[in-house]
Structure 1
Amino acid sequence: MSTAPDDAAILAAELLARRWLPRQHPRVKRALIDADLWQAVQERLGQVGLRLVDNIHADHVTVALLRGAEHAVFGEAGLNASNNIDLPRDAVSLLVVLWSLIVLPKRERQAARAANAEIDGQDEMFRTEKPMPSAASVSPSVSYKALLADFGNQLGKKVRLDNNLKRLESHGFITRRADDIGEGPLLDLLLDYDSLAPRILDGALGDVLARTRKDAAPEEQA
């Protein structure tokens, strides 16, 4: 005799079916404040080699493979690959560039707004915990034309760039609206900020990003 699935099973099933869910989804919101439900979802996903991925800087949650399951799923060749979703090398490079142009400044803005909210709240008689500013409220967009002009030659020129943007959009890393490229649900969830940010900021791409931000500053002030 079948039994009705509980909340943990339903949330796990939704994540598997939809790939990601917004943090404002009713069951996700409950799991984020209910430690027992969160643990139950992790246990359900863990039974099939998955884990729930959350990040206070992102507006969504998703699932990813447990480290222990990666070898069994992808084998040695998959683990040694640059990615496990069959992105070509130039698409991976494009992903890193877009992550750098979108996530790095977004995190800076979130930290700055959170710090300002903390300062503003110091004089309150009854202080409350200020939530992290949402990604949607502070995440910058990247101009397609500027991306093509600045990185087109390095990323395969227009045809390859267009094809790889479609790949990244279909995988949920970016969104596109007319000329604007924005943060997708998975951009700040599946790329490890702690390991990637220092390599970018201290590497060659850091100089390029610094110049890009300097050029963009007058436009933001206008």
Structure 2
Amino acid sequence: MAISLVEVAMGRMLPDGLIYPNLQILILDAFKYDSTNASDAFFVEMKALKVLTLTYVQLSMKSLQFPTNLRTLHLKYCILEGISSLGKLKRLEILSLEGSEFDKLPDELGELSQLRLLDLSYCCTLKRIPSNVLRRLSHLEELYMGRTYYSSWAVEGMNAETSNVSLSELNSLPRLTHLLLHIHDKCLPKDFAFSSTLQSYEIEVN
């Protein structure tokens, strides 16, 4: 069963109490200027969800603790709260946070051992990615950070407990084949080279 509502005016709050126990695909594309909110209880009766796409919605990630079978999650231009709850979606394979508003990628993201694709494109408010988060995504095949201009890559040798992610973590991902990245030259260690496993890539410096 699937529901798709694209570019519709859904009002300020998505309704609670919707019972769709067999729903597997849900696409809600809110009208850009509605400031639509989803409550923590919105997904309670949608435990079979495998694919979820939300656009222009404000929600707490705690609400996604109920559809534990999620494989694909697209949150496009959303305002996200409680993002650490992402770590509970153990079966997630595809995660796109394109254009969404949050300031830190949570440590718990590293618990998504089945994740194959991560899209952080246009996440202009992203200020910190802790060290050893990306490194733990051992099944990651595709990483997109286009037009993010994330400028807080760590300098090699900093204390791992306090530093941000370093570019060398990308080379520790054994399955990474697709990479889109915009970086500043000050983030590049001397004589640094990206992994030869890359098959498709766009790396823009400055």
User: Is the pair's TM-score, using the shorter chain for normalization, greater than 0.5?
Assistant: no
Say which structure is richer in strand.
2
- Give the greater-gyration-radius structure (CA): 1
**More helix per residue:** 1
- TM-score, structure 1 as length reference: 0.24
User: What TM-score do the two structures reach when normalised by structure 2?
Assistant: 0.25
